[in-house]
Amino acid sequence: MRTVTGLFDDYSDASAAVSALEAQGVPSGDISIVSNNADEHHGDDSNAAEGAGAGAGIGAAVGGVGGLLTGLGVMAIPGVGPVVAAGWLVATAAGAAAGALAGGAAGGLIGAMTESGVPEEHAHVYAEGVRRGGTLVTAKVDDSVYPAAEAILRDSNWVDPTERRAAYAEEGWTRFDDTLDPYGPSEIEAERARYRR
């Protein structure tokens, strides 16, 4: 088994990638999705209950799309805030965070990615990308399916992690920092506009 991972600036691209992976025969149990939820908040974006309601709204909106997307739940990641998430990576990250003294779910998420074969420098870009409003899709696939799965993510408008790291570095960024405040809806919209094709 190998891990294929993609960061998406738009949730709709990530959702399409998940559906395409499932159509390729990748079981939904082998796919994970973590999506920043801040653009769905109404009013105070630090209100976890509101974030949970927004997450439920996203889940309902995509409920008929595919197996994984019907199981979206809400979790909080330090530095990111409320996210909608589902899949094996989320369960692994939550388990790692529960045993950690510091770092919480963010450290668990980065640790879960690196343990599954994602290079650490990419894991930090992916976590920062989610903080800035992106959606992360990760799938465990057989070696024979890996090229097709990677092509699905690329063709669904994934973010090149090396290019995004360079863009973040121009701002002085070096790695994901879970002590920073989560991005709010206006910051996320500005970030998305920066990369819109």
Q: Is 108 helix (H, G, I), strand (E, B) or coil?
A: helix
Contact 138, 116 (CB under 8 A): yes
The pLDDT value recorded for residue 110 is 86
Q: pLDDT by residue (tens digit) across 14-73? A: 999 999 999 999 998 899 999 886 545 333 333 323 333 333 333 333 333 444 544 566
Query: Could you tell me if residue 31 is left (phi over 0), alpha (psi between -120 and 50 degrees) or otherwise beta?
Result: beta
Task: Give the separation between CA 118 and CA 121, rounded to whole angstroms.
Answer: 8
- What is the pTM for the complete model shown? 0.77
Task: Look at residue 106 and tell me whether its pLDDT is greater than 70.
Answer: no
Dihedral (CA of 104, 107, 110, 116) sign: negative
Return the H-helix or E-strand segment holding 140. Answer: strand 135-141
Task: Give the separation between CA 40 and CA 73, rounded to whole angstroms.
Answer: 14
Q: Average model confidence (pLDDT) for the chain?
A: 77
Closest of 101, 87, 167, 102 to residue 132, by C-alpha? 167
The pLDDT value recorded for residue 95 is 54
Which of 37-51, 122-136, 169-183 has the weakest average pLDDT? 37-51
